[in-house]
Amino acid sequence: MRKTLYIIGLSTIVFSCTSQQNAKKRQYIPRTPSTQPKTTANTTSEKPKPKVSTEHGVDFFTTNIADITKNDNTASYGSIVSAKPAGYKVVKDYFPAIAQNFRQRYLILHYTALPDDKSITVLTQQAVSAHYLVNNMGNNEIYQLVDENKRAYHAGVSAWRADKNLNDTSIGIEIVNTGYTTDASGKRVFAPFDEAQIRKVAALVKDIVNRYQIPATNILAHSDIAPTRKQDPGPLFPWKRLYDEYQIGMWYDEAAKQSFYDLAVSTDFPSKYNDSTFIFNVQTQLQKFGYGLDLSGKWDDATKKTIEAFQYHFRPQNYDGILDPETFAILQALIQKYPVK
């Protein structure tokens, strides 16, 4: 019994000593401060922002301090619109936040299908409008009808890629042109554009696109965004010339088009033309490029009109709405050059 008690007591003493030694090992010993303490960066400091300028009581901010590579832009092309809450003061001490961009993401081109005087009347006095009207009077004037910061009623029911109702995100340019007449065979015959008008349109588009950083894929015809309803500005509008001479809009590379054309011809294109799988794939590709088109697997009216609109823009020599090998090759070349991001 005594021996047992002795062993228990000895064990208790050993455990107690061991615990105290471990406690000493875990004891916190503060570090001696270094002779040169680290300097703490001032995380609250900001790069000085350009000041808001004021003219005749109106505020402006025209310098971009945001990251243009992220499509952010803090510049205002016009006066800053601010609230005026009763009894309070709105201040711009921290203006502007860098996380913002422009409403103007698309530029849509139209023709009026009317002469100059009627175009002005309709676009200013009725329930349709555009931001700009390019006249056909041989002068150097371009009429502004709507503030760029406001919605004009020019696009109507519309879609391109993932976006719909493009009035919300676009600038509309109307060009005075009589549109088309129909010949005895039922084919549309379009009126040409005046040379002075083309130069005006090019200068105007270039200015708008540069200011708002609108990508080439978003410079479109009315017929592109509403192919089942609209034909303007039609096949005589010189899209390729604007691309070549002014770097405006989209166009395909000839070598890529020829490569796709040779492939289409070598695979017996006509034999699969009416195959529902082939039609479905073509509709998918038109949709992928940007057109708002339902996938029916049939050469229905909507598909024919969409192909026709595509030909107005990219293959104006023949706009019959039939997908021949050349139209098919142009579509492939454009998808390759302008993929959806």
* Helices 254-266 + 325-337 axis angle, to 10: 130
Closest CA to 336 of 304, 300, 288, 296: 288
Query: How far, in Å, CA of 330 to CA of 261, rounded?
Result: 8
In which residue are the tokens 């009808």 written? 145
Q: How far is CA 151 from the centre of its chain?
A: 16
Among the options 46, 55, 148, 174, which is catalytic?
A: 174
* Three-class DSSP category at 106: strand
- Dihedral over Cα of 287, 293, 294, 299: its sign: negative
- Dihedral over Cα of 32, 36, 41, 45: its sign: positive
| Residue 245 annotated to the active site | no
Which tokens sit at 190?
């379009």
Query: How far, in Å, CA of 331 to CA of 263, rounded?
Result: 13
Q: How far is CA 258 from the centre of its chain?
A: 29
In which residue are the tokens 């299908």 written? 113
Whole-Å CA distances, 303 to 108, 281, 283: 21, 12, 7
What lies within 8 Å, CB to CB, of 319 at 6+ separation is: 188, 235, 308, 311, 312
Closest CA to 221 of 245, 194, 201: 201
Whole-Å CA distances, 52 to 60, 63, 80: 6, 9, 9
Q: How far is CA 325 from the centre of its chain?
A: 29
Closest CA to 320 of 238, 235, 236, 260: 235
Assess whether the previous peptide bond of 96 is cis (omega < 30° from 0): yes
Q: Catalytic site residues?
A: 174
